[in-house]
C-alpha cells in the first residue's frame, strides 16, 4: 500500500531525519575544510546546514522543515566546542551542556508533538506565502526571513556560550550560580506554560476561550518569557567565564527583540482573529512581563 508522504507522520519524520542528517554531514564537511578561526568555521558550517534544510524545504514545498533546526543546532554546536576545542570538562562546561541539551530536548519534543507531517506547514508561513507582494518570490521570503534570519539570531545568542564552553582557566563564580538559576528557571517556566496551555486546549469545554489561568493569567506569552530568559541565562554564563565578552549581550537583545516585536504581535493578531474576547484579554494582561495590578 503506497504511503502518502503528505499525511503520514512517520514518513514526514523520516524525511526530516534524513534531511537533518545530510545537513549535519554538510556542516561537518565545512568544518573540515574551512579556515583556522573555529568560531568563523562554526558559523560557516551552521549556514551550510541551513542551506541544506532550505533546499529540502523547496523540494517538499514546506518551510516548516526548518522549525526543528532552532532547537537541534545549538546543543550540537556547543558539544562540538566543548569536546573538540578543550581538554577535559569543567563544572561550568558540564552545567551549560546539561542545560542546553535539556532545553533542546524539551523544545524539539514540543515541536514533534504538534507537527502532523509534510502536509502541515506553520500558519505563519502560510500567511507569508499568501500575503507577500506578487513580485516577491516565496523562496526568497523563506530563505531570508524563515531560515537565514533565525539561524543568525540563534548563532548570535550562542556567541555568549563560546567563552563558557572554551575558557577553562576561570573558576566557578557566584555569577555562575545566578546563570544556573536564570537558565534553569527559564526552562521550567517554558515547560510549565506549555503544559498549562496543552491541558487547557485539550478540554472541549474551553473551545473558543482564552486561557487566563496559571502563568497565563500574568502574561499573554509566558512561554516566550521563558525562551527569552534562557538566552539571557546563557549570556550570564559567558560573562562569568570571560567578562571581556560582555558585548555578546547583543545576542539576547536580538532574541528579545525577535519575540517582542515579531512573535508576540503575530500571535496576538492570530488570537484576535480567532477569539473576539482576546481584545479584552490584551487590555488586562501584559504581553510578556507581568505588571503590578494588571492581570486577568
| pLDDT value at residue 246 | 94
Are 49 and 26 in contact, with CB atoms under 8 Å apart? yes
Does residue 7 register a pLDDT over 80?
no
Cell numbers that stand for 289 in this block: 512581563
Percent of the chain with pLDDT over 70: 95
Burial class (CB in 10 A: 0-12, 13-18, 19+), 264: middle
- Per the DSSP assignment, residues forming a β-bridge with 291 are 294
| pLDDT value at residue 64 | 92
Give 120-175 pLDDT, tens digit per residue: 899 899 988 988 998 999 999 999 999 999 999 999 999 999 999 999 888 899 99
Burial class (CB in 10 A: 0-12, 13-18, 19+), 125: buried
CA distance 112 to 93: 28
Does residue 2 register a pLDDT over 50?
no
Cell numbers that stand for 264 in this block: 508576540
Give 23-57 pLDDT, tens digit per residue: 999 999 998 886 778 899 999 999 999 999 999 99
| pLDDT value at residue 1 | 36
| pLDDT value at residue 36 | 75
Does residue 212 register a pLDDT over 60?
yes
Other beta carbons within 10 Å of 11 = 15
Average predicted confidence (pLDDT) for the chain: 91
CA distance 183 to 228: 10
| pLDDT value at residue 77 | 95
Q: Predicted confidence band at 292 (pLDDT cuts at 50, 70, 90)?
A: low
| pLDDT value at residue 3 | 40
Mean pLDDT over residues 207-230, rounded? 93
| pLDDT value at residue 137 | 94
Give 95-118 pLDDT, tens digit per residue: 999 999 999 999 999 999 888 889
What is the enclosing helix (H) or strand (E) of 50? helix 38-60
Q: Which position has the higher pLDDT, 60 or 35?
A: 60
Mean pLDDT over residues 52-66, rounded? 94
Mean pLDDT over residues 174-202, rounded? 95
CA distance 104 to 36: 29
| pLDDT value at residue 108 | 94
Q: In the chain, what are the domain boundaries? A: 9-284
Q: Predicted confidence band at 258 (pLDDT cuts at 50, 70, 90)?
A: very high
- The helix-helix angle for 149-158 and 38-60 (nearest 10°) equals 150
- Answering whether pTM is above 0.85, one says yes
Amino acid at each position: 500500500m503506497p504511503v502518502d508522504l503528505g499525511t503520514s507522520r512517520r514518513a514526514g519524520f523520516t524525511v526530516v531525519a534524513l534531511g537533518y542528517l545530510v545537513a549535519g554531514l554538510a556542516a561537518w564537511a565545512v568544518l573540515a575544510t574551512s579556515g583556522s578561526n573555529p568560531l568563523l568555521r562554526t558559523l560557516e558550517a551552521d549556514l551550510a546546514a541551513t542551506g541544506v534544510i532550505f533546499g529540502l524545504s523547496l523540494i517538499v514545498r514546506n518551510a516548516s522543515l526548518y522549525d526543528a533546526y532552532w532547537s537541534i543546532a545549538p546543543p550540537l554546536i556547543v558539544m562540538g566546542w566543548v569536546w573538540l576545542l578543550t581538554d577535559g570538562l569543567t563544572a561550568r562546561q558540564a552545567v551549560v551542556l546539561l542545560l542546553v541539551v535539556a532545553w533542546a530536548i524539551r523544545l524539539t519534543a514540543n515541536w514533534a508533538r504538534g507537527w502532523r507531517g509534510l502536509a502541515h506547514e506553520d500558519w505563519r508561513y502560510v500567511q507569508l506565502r499568501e500575503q507577500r507582494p506578487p513580485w516577491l518570490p516565496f523562496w526568497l521570503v523563506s530563505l531570508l526571513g524563515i531560515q537565514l534570519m533565525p539561524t543568525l539570531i540563534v548563532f548570535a545568542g550562542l556567541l555568549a556560550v563560546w567563552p563558557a564552553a572554551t575558557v577553562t582557566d576561570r573558576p566557578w563564580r557566584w555569577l555562575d550560580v545566578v546563570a544556573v538559576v536564570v537558565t534553569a528557571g527559564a526552562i521550567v517556566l517554558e515547560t510549565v506554560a506549555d503544559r498549562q496551555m496543552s491541558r487547557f486546549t485539550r478540554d472541549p469545554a474551553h473551545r473558543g476561550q482564552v486561557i487566563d489561568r496559571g502563568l497565563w493569567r500574568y502574561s499573554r506569552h509566558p512561554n516566550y518569557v521563558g525562551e527569552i530568559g534562557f538566552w539571557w541565562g546563557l549570556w550570564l554564563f559567558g560573562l562569568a567565564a570571560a567578562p571581556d565578552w560582555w558585548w555578546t549581550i547583543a545576542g539576547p537583545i536580538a532574541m528579545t527583540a525577535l519575540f517582542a516585536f515579531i512573535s508576540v504581535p503575530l500571535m496576538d493578531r492570530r488570537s484576535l482573529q480567532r477569539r473576539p474576547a482576546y481584545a479584552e484579554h490584551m487590555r488586562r494582561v501584559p504581553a510578556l512581563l507581568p505588571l503590578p495590578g494588571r492581570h486577568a
